[in-house]
Structure 1
């Protein structure tokens, strides 16, 4: 029984102690001086210096005020009370300036991020334009240059007969080969095919690549025109030789291969100048 009474007494004492401490803590939280300090540290007002002074016959009688803000207070307290308004959350306060600066920095970060994203996207686009791996997907290549440059790939690298050279017959092929014309045409063909290969395989800006495509196309057209011109000219010369062999009493030598109309006339005049 005594043990039960002792436990009950202890519990009652514990409850009283908890309630007392709660009341004390509430009183401290609602201390007017602390509330005034909170107001000074936020945005409300600079002032309300609690505890307030009390005078009796001109003599300070409030000991709390004298030790906090008055004559017995530390110098740092008096300087704080008589100093400038240093509320951190006022319109021009340090904390608000930090908030404004932070907001400004956030905006700058957004701009930098947007700029970096733009640079990244531009770099990816530039890489797609630079690399030779994406040439086959380029619209300009698909719509025009692929079709226009296709004959270059279809033309043999080292033509060996008149059919591969796209000539009229074997005699024309032998004539051009004997005069060294095919050798020069082969050198030009190698240059065209080499430039075409470079434009397709090297990494370069898109504009420069299509300039190379265009230059290759122009050079190929000149090559085809020159080849056609030599083909027609040689055919004409062979026809002249056939006519001369059939109508003149003394035929021209088989090994004689004129290079131009002027050469034909000069050779004929040289052979027959003493006969008439």
Structure 2
């Protein structure tokens, strides 16, 4: 019994090894996996093959009876005409279309932003022409005050302008012009129209300032003439002694100068 025990153990091990799982090498399946995944569609790797005189029964069971033309068409997903290749080409075409749409939408967006910046009143303070020229030129209208309007005038002329209503007229004109400038500055409009409005109001202001200068100068002349008349009436002006010889001497000096 002790002698048979080792033989029984060896026999059991052999039986266990015989019924255990083993690696299956299916060449047909391996070829199919290779050509469907990454290798070329090789006509020589369709196993089982037909064999001598096409007598291989496995060939007829796998290919000959049910799929006789299977190997004639490249069925790889990534073949030149495969479904996955077509999907990738379609994805690339759709990406190109999306990029074109995105480019067009970006162009429309940039155009819209440019139009908004061109017409919006929110960015008028940053306009270069306004900052460099029209803001300073129109400042006497936008920030006018009584002290600024009457600056440089004598008290007598100032009093006359206030009494005659010239100051009130000029201030009302500046107020109306200021309202129009503020409207052009804060209203949504085309930038070109806004600049033309600034220029038109600047011309109007210069004409108005010219009229004001003429009237203030006339008021100053009137004050000077009134003062001179008062001096004459009160005898504050002394006249030098005059004789006919005085006029003759003056005429002779003029003739000498002309010669």
Is TM > 0.5 for Structure 1 vs Structure 2?
Answer: yes
Describe the superposition over 1:50-91 as per-residue Cα deviations: whole angstroms up to 9, x where unpaired. Answer: 2211356xxx532221122223x2xxx235345x44443233
- Whether the 8 Å contact between 2:31 and 2:47 is mirrored in structure 1 is no
Give the corresponding residue for 2:174.
Answer: 189
State the alpha-carbon separation in 1 of the partners of residues 39 and 190 from structure 2: 60
Alignment of 1:1-276 (within 5 A): 16=17, 20-24=20-24, 27-28=25-26, 31-36=27-32, 38-39=34-35, 42=38, 44-45=40-41, 47-48=43-44, 49-55=46-52, 61-71=55-65, 73=66, 77-81=67-71, 84-113=73-102, 116-117=105-106, 120=109, 123=112, 127-156=116-145, 163=150, 168-172=157-161, 174-175=163-164, 183=169, 188-232=173-217
Q: Could you tell me which runs of 5 or more consecutive residues in structure 1 were left unpaired when the two chains were aligned.
A: 1-7, 245-276
Question: How many Å apart are 1:98 and its aligned residue?
Answer: 2.7
Question: How many Å apart are 1:109 and its aligned residue?
Answer: 3.8
Question: How many Å apart are 1:198 and its aligned residue?
Answer: 1.4
Higher relative contact order (CA 8 A, sep 6+): 2
Q: Could you tell me which runs of 5 or more consecutive residues in structure 2 were left unpaired when the two chains were aligned.
A: 1-8, 230-259
SS of the equivalent of 1:97 reads helix
After TM superposition, the score normalised by the length of structure 2 is: 0.59
